[in-house]
Structure 1
Amino acid sequence: MQIQVDPELTAPQAGDRNYGLGRVMRDLRKGAGATHAEVAAAMDLGRTSVCNMERGVQAITVEKLYQFADHLDVEVTISFKPKKRGAKKAMPGITDVVLSGAPRA
């Protein structure tokens, strides 16, 4: 028996957060000349998980993101900014927060 799924129902949308991060991961991996298997081994994951993350169908934890970055020798920077001017701020007086660097051992 063969099951076919409509790709319109399963394809990630360009605005999806996982999809956007996955595209960046894919571009970095390809730019470094690394295979899915190499990256997966460094992240202690299966190759399929890395493929799914790049396609935006599987979320990635911050710890796994740092493992990915360490393997490719790139820095992780996470930035929090208000969405638009005049929006209610979660952190009064703080307009920009950036977390950067490697995870704690």
Structure 2
Amino acid sequence: MLSCNPGGHTAYQDTFVSDFLKFYPDPFALPNSTWDYIVQFWYLDLSPTDSILQDCYSVFGPEPRLPSCMLRSYLLALKLKVTSITVWCRMLRETRKGKRHPATLPVLLLSFFP
């Protein structure tokens, strides 16, 4: 199935805000270092990646992850100095299941969409 991102970067920002506020009703309790990552990725518009790679996707199969989401996740892993994709995937999985320390959650939420 072809990837499609109808909302672009604005949809990512809206999704992040709604998910973020579910976990952190008082966002000002987070440390400044966390906010540095949040602000940096907030303005990083990777939506052109979706249109560039549109032709690389097949019309068959399950709905894929958006290329911009996968790239954002990879860039965030590099920024956090996680060099192993296996470790990064485990961190994301644990965060989604609620097993991860809450302090890492806001940063890892940056890579979730949708």
By percentage of residues, which structure has more strand? 1
Q: Could you say which structure has the greater relative contact order, defined with CA pairs below 8 angstroms and 6 or more residues apart?
A: 2
- Tell me the TM-score normalized by structure 1: 0.29
Higher Rg: 1
Q: Which one has a larger percent helix, Structure 1 or Structure 2? A: 2
State the TM-score, normalized to the length of structure 2.
0.27
